[in-house]
Structure 1
Amino acid sequence: MTATILVVDDEPDLEALVLQKFRRQIRDGVVSFVFAHDGVEALESIAEHPHVDMVVSDINMPRMDGLSLLAKLQEAEDKKSTIIVSAYGDMSNIRTAMNRGAFDFLTKPIDFADLETTIQKTIRHVEMLREARRRQAEAERAHASLSRYFSPEIAKRLASHGESNGMEVQWREIATIFTDITGFTTLVESAAPETLGELLNEYVGGMTEIVFEHEGTVAKIIGDAIQVLFNAPGDQPDFATRAVACAHDLDAWAEGFRERWKAKGVDFGATRIGAHAGPALVGNFGGNRFFDYTAYGDTVNTAARLEAANKHLGTRICVSASIAKGAENFRGRPVGDLVLRGRSEPLRAFEPLKAEKFDAPATAQYSEAFAKLESGDVAAMPAFAALVGMHADDALAGFHLKRLLNGAKGVRMQLE
């Protein structure tokens, strides 16, 4: 690399002297020089030669002195490393120069051996800055590229150059969300390929954007199904709260999407969402050739089972007690104690509700009916019947009424 040095000084003989003293380095391509006679001319020269690597400037000059020039150079986005030259013993100006960001200083009369040493030191500093900027630019380009395919947090870690990017397999407390679409297989078999491609790309794109807004990690996309993680790979102490908020926003977006496509004559199914929190084995399971950042364990399986439970319950969102207890200001109504497929112990589940629905009289009426059901009160059946009579669209209340009419009791239920 040839270092370009701008020398700013109003002494008439300095240019010839510098070119004479550095003729070997100039010939070998180590350095090249540009000259200016004051600060104004120096700024004009930098505008013409933006590749200037450093500035060697006197202080006392006409029109614009060296200290004023230094201040201008420090205001620029591309700050030039500057060596200030001052009369011997003028420590006041030297201190001012260093405070304004000068890299080094020399005293007059100039010792050219000292000047050469100082220039070499400054060149090394410039090269270090240039390398740091290059690495930063590479990291930013890598992050921008990876962000097209990975969650932002994963992209940031993959683009980093640290010894460990946090992708190693480890046990973590997480919240995980599963989403799926009802009747998607039928849609695949009936829709035209171009329609299905547009439909699914818009759906997955919109859903993942919602996840990213809540700083979640998209672990898997398999067709219409999406798996989301919170508190992985980065720490998120409020992961349960994030999961609930994300689930609500996913549900709202998916319902809006469904209505838009229904207006186009496409019958797109409802999105079902399940969420659970607990320990899971999280990390990159893709081996040496593939990248597959995901989570495994009972926590993940339970979230998937809760998503499927919506089909029986008539709900769109179903979350576990661990999510409900961990989320701040959780609003929801109990579903019951579900014995999910592959489990022997029941799991208390809830349907999270937005504030306006939670505060509605129907929710209090549901809570009263559920309390009767849980206690074995025979008044549970007429309580749910009254609720369904007033709110025929309350699928969860209808589910419990149907159970009671079929002879079921209590809130424990086996779901396949």
Structure 2
Amino acid sequence: MGSVVRRDAAVIILVALACGLVTALPPFNLIHGWSIDALTALRWQAFGARHDPAAAPVAVIAVDEETYATPPFKGSPTLTWTTEIGRVLSAVIDGGASVVGFDIVLPTSIELSEIPFGGDSVGARMRGFDRDFLRSLAKGAAAGKVVLGETLRGDRPSPGQRIAVGQTKNIRPLNIFTDPDEVVRRIPLTFAGDGKPVPSMALELVSRALNAAPVLTEDGSVTLAGYRIPSTVPNTLTLNFEGGADDIQTFSFADLRACVERNDVDFFHRQFAGKIVIFGTLLDSEDRKFTSKRFATELDGSRAPRCALPPAPPAAGQFKRTSIAGVYIHATAVHNLMARDAVVEPGRVPATMIAIAFAALAALAARMLAPGTAAAVYLGMVALWTAFATLAFTRSLALPLSEPFVAGLAAMAAIGAYRFVVTDKGERLLRSSFALYLAPQVIDKMLASNRLPVLGGETRDVTVFFSDLAGFSSIAEKMTPAELVAFMNEYLSAMTDIIESKGGYIDKYIGDSIVAVFGAPADDSDHASNAAYAALGCRARLDELNENSAAFQGYKVAHRMGLNSGEALVGNIGSRRRFNYSVMSDAVNVASRLEGANKYYGTSIAASEMTVALTGSRFAWRELDAIRVQGRSAPVKIYELLAEAGQATSQQLTAAAAYAEGLAHWRAREFDAAATCFARVAGFDKPSALFLARARAFESHPPDTDWEPVSTLEAK
């Protein structure tokens, strides 16, 4: 046994290690980010928004669908908006914004257009068109409050804008980082420049707002104002998105332009003082990104307080989508840096260790429990770990979900295969080999103890069941051997199925007789009632066999059953070389005698008063007699089992009532009155006919004065 345990333990450890380590291989990188996606959604659903958007250190000014539909922008190309962009920019800076970044790149200018117009070019005719915009850029850049965006190996601001902001001094990359599944979960912190790292847009904006330069180390980590930015992928920040659509306060550019027209300086001061502001687009189809927020989105829109325009009505056909506007990626990074709550990932090694531990628990459950129970335990582990990880994520710690769940599932499958091929092979062999010889309960007990059966027993309260076919010897003489085998197999199979369905254990077959016990080897506090149910079921089934079975055609048989309850020795009884699980005691002897008593009284099911007392009011009984069986000095009252309570026929009830009255007169030595009672039903009731003959005999020859109303059965 010890070697088996050591073998299983070694297999569990090896399987857990293999399944956990496999999740660390590159092909599984695809599932790594799903944990963050799931935790973002679960945290939002469980706890809601953690921050008030109005109090957040960052705000977005969105060129949205409303802007494109509002004069003077409606119908005009974006290149012509520069003057209005400059006016809003100046108002935001004058309102006290700490720094303004542009997620919008205007790579050209209408002043550069070479399209002919009136003998000249459009650009020549529009010379100076961008002057106000460029002045706003220059003023803001001189104060260190404007940062234009560009995409490396992509769009750059127009030459005039670059000059206005002082070239690269105030231009930062907008490039983002995507995982292998094309989902944005991280954003780069720096990019390679001309001999030195260039901060990303988000890092630059926060650096200026805090007036602290980022510190870069050789291992790729970045520290800003004492905050070491956590990162499992060097030189990146793992984004910590809130859920919903209003986590970053968003203003419509159209409304702010109208606010400038009204010269509402106080509005800009109230909304933007001390904040980092980012200009970007919020459109239905442009610059949309899938992020780790993809399962926690809502209808997006510009829902910040309004200044001049009424709130825009919901657009027709607007629907919830899993993508978000790209500007929110940079805004979220800014918020994470300012709040110092970027996502902390445990790293590949800790994640692998967690996966190994999870796989080990799942493998242990799969080895120790039944498949269904093991699956339930695995699901419980998944639920508990998910709840714990969700709580941890409220502290920005992203514990892995995908790796341990995949490792655990793989470990359960591997151990299931191992059990089928190795450990359960012996059990299956034992069950298939002994199922026809031993009761299922005995096999289960032997397997549960993990040891071979040995001699020994215990005293238990049981009910013993005996049955025998009436007059079968004479019937068997008329059958050929093949007919006899078919008959016995049909009969014994049918009776055995009923007995075992009620929890009985077949002790042995003795020819056409069946010896069964209820209450062992499986515990059964209701063993007496179950034995009575089995007896009624066997009687009804024999009636069906007599009517319908081909093996019974021409041979209508009846059987007799005896039931007795009491203490008995049950266990493995026999020799040291061969033994059976059996039952021994006086209770067995009484049950056997009761089965034979049916022949004397003309009944089919007889039970002792001990069995009747344990069944309560579930059955209709009638007392037959008090008898003294061979091998037992004390008399015992016996009863006939008529039917389940409430199901006795009117004839049975009539006979039982007359019999009970006659039996009372009989025991009072009132033999004339007893005979009268028995005579009323003796024509169809065999016990009454038996006692009628007794009573009439005593009428003419009364018994001695020491007579006891007890019958002695000398033989079975």
TM (norm. structure 2) is 0.42
CA distance in 1, matches of 2:566, 2:494: 27
User: Is the counterpart of residue 403 in structure 1 residue 691 in structure 2?
Assistant: no
CA distance in 1, matches of 2:23, 2:573: 59
CA contact (8 A) 2:463 2:517 kept: yes
Structure 1 residues 139 and 262: CA distance shift in structure 2, 3 A: closer
1:16-73 C-alpha deviation (Å, 9 max, x unpaired): xxxxxxxxxxxxxxxxxxx566359xxxxxxxxxxxxxxxxxx9541799x99x9xx9
Counterparts of residues 382-397 of structure 1 (less than 5 Å): 382-388=676-682, 392-397=683-688
CA contact (8 A) 1:167 1:233 kept: no
2:666 to 361, 373, 385: 373
Count residues with an aligned counterpart. Answer: 345
1:344 to 613, 627, 633: 633
SS in 2 for 1:335: strand
User: Is the counterpart of residue 62 in structure 1 residue 350 in structure 2?
Assistant: no
Which residue in 1 is equivalent to 2:72?
Answer: none
CA distance in 2, matches of 1:91, 1:130: 39
User: Is the counterpart of residue 282 in structure 1 residue 570 in structure 2?
Assistant: yes
- Larger relative contact order (CA 8 Å, sep ≥ 6): 2
1:248-277 C-alpha deviation (Å, 9 max, x unpaired): 111221232234459964324311100111
Which of the two has higher C-alpha Rg? 2
CA contact (8 A) 2:658 2:680 kept: no
CA distance in 2, matches of 1:202, 1:298: 31
CA distance in 2, matches of 1:308, 1:262: 28
How well do the aligned residues superpose, as a CA RMSD in angstroms? Answer: 4.2
CA contact (8 A) 2:623 2:639 kept: yes
206-215 or 184-193, which deviates more: 184-193
CA contact (8 A) 2:593 2:629 kept: yes
Deviation at 1:153, TM superposition (A): 1.4
CA distance in 2, matches of 1:263, 1:205: 13
Structure 1 residues 164 and 292: CA distance shift in structure 2, 3 A: closer
Q: Percent identity?
A: 26
Structure 1 residues 131 and 165: CA distance shift in structure 2, 3 A: farther
Which residue in 2 is equivalent to 1:414?
Answer: 712
Which residue in 2 is equivalent to 1:30?
Answer: none
TM (norm. structure 1) is 0.70
Which residue in 1 is equivalent to 2:398?
Answer: 93
SS in 2 for 1:344: coil
CA distance in 1, matches of 2:521, 2:675: 47
1:289-340 C-alpha deviation (Å, 9 max, x unpaired): 3341111121111100110111111001111000011113142001111111
CA contact (8 A) 2:469 2:557 kept: yes
SS in 1 for 2:516: strand
SS in 2 for 1:93: coil
Which residue in 2 is equivalent to 1:227?
Answer: 515
* Structure 1 unaligned spans of 5+: 16-34, 41-58, 83-88, 105-121
Counterparts of residues 51-130 of structure 1 (less than 5 Å): 61-62=180-181, 92-94=397-399, 96-97=401-402, 100=405
Residue identity in the other structure for 1:394: D
Counterparts of residues 33-52 of structure 1 (less than 5 Å): 35=27, 38-39=30-31
CA contact (8 A) 1:261 1:268 kept: no
176-185 or 246-255, which deviates more: 246-255
Which residue in 2 is equivalent to 1:306?
Answer: 594
CA contact (8 A) 1:174 1:232 kept: yes
Counterparts of residues 130-141 of structure 1 (less than 5 Å): 134-136=422-424, 138-140=426-428
CA contact (8 A) 1:339 1:346 kept: yes
Which residue in 2 is equivalent to 1:244?
Answer: 532
1:188 to 476, 487, 490: 476
CA contact (8 A) 2:461 2:567 kept: yes
* Structure 2 unaligned spans of 5+: 1-10, 33-177, 185-291, 296-354, 363-373, 383-392
Structure 1 residues 307 and 230: CA distance shift in structure 2, 3 A: same
Which residue in 1 is equivalent to 2:435?
Answer: 147
User: Is the counterpart of residue 364 in structure 1 residue 657 in structure 2?
Assistant: yes
SS in 2 for 1:309: helix
